[in-house]
Amino acid sequence: MSDRIRIALVHATPVAVDPIAQSFRQIWPEADPVGVLDDGLALDRAAAGALTQDLSRRILALAQYGLSTGARAVLFTCSAFGPAIEEAARILPVPVLKPNEAMFEEALGYGENIGMIATFGPAVAMMEQEFAEEAKRLNPQARLTPWLAVGAIEALRAGDAATHNQRVAEGVAELGERDAILLAHFSTSRASDACRALTSRPVLSSPDAAVRKLRRLLGG
């Protein structure tokens, strides 16, 4: 086996695959990311309307499979499974990261007025809760204002990245002046350049932040 540090990436949708691969290439090219895809997870989560026990069991099984590949950490790339990922983190003997925890940590260093552009509605409430938990620990005065780019994720799944990026970038004006703007999902990071062209404030993406945190944790 290679002596490169292996990271298992667990995907719930194919549209998350390229963004995290790009972040590893740019930030930590020496790592060895290995993808695990269950492309029914996001669809089943949306259909269920809640994080069910069956979905939670699938999350744990995927984390355990990722560990079995020799991974020294597991990173989930879909934002709608937070409590199940936390349970997997309690069970597995390696770091198991939620998609957005590193981005939330970075955002809280910029100030108290944070905006977030999301494209997958079922994930928003859970992400607000996760942000509130991080804020309680790091910056109790901080508040998150989400904005949903309706139709963006559907356009991306249909292969229309330009419409996706345009819809996401509209959120910059909708959110107004913020200390930082977050792109909620790994797939949303495709619109980073379009968003940064419209604001001088920091625009943070979850894949970049996650790779930075993994590199710090594992000494890469």
Q: Per-residue pLDDT tens for 167-191?
A: 999 999 999 999 999 999 989 999 9
Report if residue 30 sits inside a domain. Answer: yes
Tell me the residue range of the domain where 33 lies.
6-99+208-218
Report if residue 111 sits inside a domain. Answer: yes
Do residue 86 and residue 125 come from a single domain? no
Do residue 121 and residue 137 come from a single domain? yes
| Tens digit of each residue's pLDDT (9 = 90 or more) over 30-58 | 999 999 999 999 889 889 988 999 999 99
| Sheet with 73-76, edge to edge strand ranges | 32-37, 6-11, 73-76, 96-97
pLDDT score recorded for residue 158 = 95
Report if residue 126 sits inside a domain. Answer: yes
- What residues have CB less than 8 Å from 43, skipping those under 6 apart? none
Mean pLDDT of the chain: 94
CA distances from 174 to 111, 131, 198 (A): 19, 20, 11
pLDDT score recorded for residue 115 = 98
Do residue 92 and residue 112 come from a single domain? no
Report if residue 118 sits inside a domain. Answer: yes
Do residue 130 and residue 160 come from a single domain? yes
Check which CATH number belongs to the domain holding 113 and give it. Answer: 3.40.50.1860
Do residue 185 and residue 123 come from a single domain? yes
Strand-strand pairing, 73-76 and 32-37: unpaired
Do residue 153 and residue 106 come from a single domain? yes
pLDDT score recorded for residue 122 = 86
Report if residue 95 sits inside a domain. Answer: yes
Do residue 16 and residue 82 come from a single domain? yes
Do residue 128 and residue 158 come from a single domain? yes
CA distances from 116 to 44, 75, 111, 120, 158 (A): 24, 21, 14, 12, 23
Do residue 92 and residue 107 come from a single domain? no
Do residue 20 and residue 87 come from a single domain? yes
| Tens digit of each residue's pLDDT (9 = 90 or more) over 193-210 | 999 999 999 999 999 999
Q: Which residue has the higher pLDDT, 15 or 174?
A: 174
Report if residue 1 sits inside a domain. Answer: no
pLDDT score recorded for residue 1 = 47
- What residues have CB less than 8 Å from 212, skipping those under 6 apart? 27, 102, 106
Q: How far apart are CA 169 and CA 162, in angstroms?
A: 11
Q: How far apart are CA 74 and CA 47, in angstroms?
A: 26
| Tens digit of each residue's pLDDT (9 = 90 or more) over 115-161 | 999 998 888 998 999 999 999 999 999 999 999 999 999 999 999 99
Question: Which runs of consecutive H residues, i.e. helices, occur in the chain?
Answer: 17-27, 41-48, 53-68, 82-91, 101-107, 124-138, 152-157, 161-175, 192-196, 206-218
pLDDT score recorded for residue 220 = 64
Do residue 166 and residue 193 come from a single domain? yes
pLDDT score recorded for residue 155 = 96
Query: b vs e for 179-217, b when ≥16 Cβ sit within 10 Å of the residue's Cβ?
Result: bbbbbbbbbbbbbbebbeeebebbbbbbbbbbbbbbbee
Q: How far apart are CA 171 and CA 113, in angstroms?
A: 15
